Amino acid sequence: MAQNGSIKKRVIPSIGVGLVLSFVLFSCTTPAIVSNQNLSYVYNKEQTFLHPEFVIFNKNDSISALYTRISSKELLFSQSGDFFLSTARIMVNFRFQADFDQSAVIDSGSVSLLMSDSLHPEFFYVYLEIKAKKGTKGLLCVKFSDLNRNQFVQNFLPLDRSKRFNFNDIMLVKPGDSLPVFAYSPSKEEALQIKCNYPEGQGFYVEQYAQEFPMPAPPFAIVEGGAFDLKPDSVFFMPFERAANFTLPAKGLYWVRRKPEDDGGFTIKRFYDHFPAVKDPTAMMAPLRFLTSKQEFKEISESPTRRAAVENFWIESSGNQDKARELIKVFYNRVKEANSYYTSYLEGWKSDRGLIFLVFGPPTIVYRNSQNEQWIYGAENSLMSLSFTFLKMDNPFTENDYSLIRNATYKNQWYQAVDSWRQGRAWLDN
């Protein structure tokens, strides 16, 4: 068990953060084998009021920083005790362990906070430090609790310090700010700054990949796997001075490394403005390929009024405009959530997990270990249940790339689910 006293907490200065009163506790959370737990709540926003976001940054050779952001609208504020202001009471626990299958603790602890809404901030931020020496690789289990509501949510984050240059060695911030950028995909106008723990004067080698990645095949289609092998569309050196204020006008992946020979790197993803949300006609059209024939999709994509063509598809499927609006809301909320959960080197809805999530909805049961994820729809060990297994892929750009083990036996269930959508019913509404 890790030694107590490994946490360092402070309030991060930021406009409108609000009053934060902190009570720092040092403790070890109970070790657990995560691979034995049902983690379906991680992929189902409806199961909790709380949706914190996290960024990990390797601050130096022995300490990693965990930044947590939570929307003030998701916290329950109340007056209690000697405090005249309405406050939210939260607790953040962390446990840094070897992986999903091992419970040996590298470091652990917790912090309890009182947060006031007197300044009406949009977000509250919590900062914690974790003992994670260079060369270490493990799983960070974070528990975020709203004590007023008596509710918590757990998240599981990879923390890798095993390579010469790791994806946690860089943090993106806005110029002049100390807070990380939590968004997956910055807009083309957004100025960014690279923060790292390496000496100034060095720069960064950047490879830009502009390829448009294809959509996944249906779960019953047997496709050949292969090594992840891409060639960059451009390569350039970013001097340290330029890294203090830059934008990404072109879409694509930007793989940032300190040296060309580094065996790891940090990936900046620039997909489209407003990502992970779906707002423009092109973003609304593309996921319809999962529900349409090749000819239907061609007609929608070539329509001079693409938004109207998309809306007509949903009206024809549901039978009237009111049902179409409900169906659109469900489907594109799933697209947004898939982008939030499964984005890797491509948009989350384009991934294998995104494919299954869009068509079948959030799984009933999720088991995860260091090699794969298993999704179950229905009761465990039931012959009526549907199960999918996703293998974790070795991908230089991301730790979030999983590939579905496809099987011809999925064909009937797939077409039943697609037909349900085509008849105006989301699959889980049956």
DSSP string across 30-92: PP--GGGS--GGGG-GGG-S---EEEEEE-SSSEEEEEEEEEGGGSPPB--TT--S-EEEEEE
**Phi, psi values for residue 43, rounded to 5°:** -110, 20
Q: Are 170 and 196 in contact (CB under 8 A)?
A: yes
Q: What is the pLDDT of residues 372-425, one digit of tens each?
A: 999 999 998 888 899 999 999 988 889 999 999 999 999 999 999 999 999 999
Compute CA distances 267 → 20, 253, 343, whole Å. Answer: 33, 7, 12
What does the block give as tokens for 242?
């330029």
Q: The tokens of 401 are what?
A: 């790339």
User: Angle of helix 306-318 relative to helix 321-342, nearest 10 degrees?
Assistant: 110
Give all domains of the chain, ordered by start, each with its CATH number. 20-162 (2.60.40.150), 193-270 (no CATH), 281-429 (no CATH)
pLDDT of 428 reads 66
What residue type is assigned to position 402 of the chain?
Answer: Y
Within the chain, what is the greatest distance between any pair of CA atoms? 67
Round to whole Å and give the CA distance between 185 and 230.
21
pLDDT tens across 223-276, in order? 776 566 678 999 999 888 777 788 888 889 999 998 888 888 899 999 888 899
The structure tokens 């949009």 sit at 122
| Tokens representing residue 8 in the block | 């360092």
Q: Could you tell me the mean pLDDT of each successive run of 10 residues in the chain, 430 residues long?
A: 34 37 39 84 89 94 94 89 78 92 88 84 93 92 94 92 89 90 81 81 86 90 72 89 83 89 88 87 92 93 91 91 91 95 94 97 94 94 92 91 95 95 79
**Nearest CA to 139 among 91, 94, 197, 93?**
94
